[in-house]
Structure 1
């Protein structure tokens, strides 16, 4: 994995995201949770676990402003979230790259939508492709890349817009174990330089306990502190093992 250098430009600090008595669901449909109260601190990495179909993706869509809550309020820095915003990026399980656009053009896309000048967005895209280890792939089409490479492109595209919050929906779930571990390490290194707040949904309990500062047990709404976040050496520590059992018991 390519060594990740510090960012060359300053980035905004992370956003505070909060749910105030929120009941999640689709308009006209049944609620999938709630009421849920939660504050995600600026710069925090919160992981979310729960059984399939319990509403984890609905949570991300609601935080993104793509889906209104059935009840309650969603805020960013105290202001209501009513629609998507450029400072909240969404990273999907499937890379969602545009197959007819080159790798660099995919990374440039959010900047082009915001009418960033061409030279500036090209410079930013090339910087981010270098940071994710794909500097030599800028002119390739996504179909010529491996699954792990495509996810690195998606990560570069999400972060090129310098978001203050990143919402990640099982982004590494389809990768093999070795590639997944490498992507986890890459994510940790990159986020260390951005200050972004991250909400990361996963089915993998070990991934949740490795990446998260805290872990949200979605069905109960309980939020647990992770004793040694982002430390591979702590995987077998007694406190980590106890927390793993507690999370598994909740599923």
Structure 2
């Protein structure tokens, strides 16, 4: 389903709040969309993969990409719609981006009304900031090969599944070497990295909901909270407690706008 938007210049801004469990059905836009979670967590799903967007982070969705959005908890969504001709270079695929303090303030200003959103200075600054944001590993791509699909779907249903690639090879009727090659060829990452990113995606909503690091580690199949924390810090650059604490602080700021 293609949804048309009435454009106010090169960038339009729209605020919308959703209750927990809300769902936007599969749709697309002629323009690019930058989704910002001022409060709450979103999951964006396309035919190519899934992305989790914690509060104060954003997801870039290129023009005409069909996607659906699931709300995890109450969500304060702040959307920017950007003319295709102005899309920053290097953003041809969906990705989760670390929103800077400046961009957050610009987005919150833009959604206050058309006069703010149509301000050329605000629009230019938003485009400049988006083009330089850090890409975060909060994404799991989906393969086309049926054997990889069987593995990935099984892990999506059960992220704590203990099978190694050698174990999966016996299940799907392919050698572990073939599976390893296909992971690199189709998904541009190895099996362990894909599984780690899936577990990271599953961990964030649980941590933001108040589960302890130990509880999340056990649910996701880690032998200890220390092993889980090491993976988390390697991928996101901070400990689970510090990272979630920062997100919660920024979310409180965004929720009062």
What is the TM-score normalised by the length of structure 2?
A: 0.27
Q: TM-score, normalised by structure 1?
A: 0.27
| Greater per-residue strand proportion | 2
Max Rg structure:
2
Of structures 1 and 2, the one with the larger relative CO (CA 8 A, separation 6+) is: 1
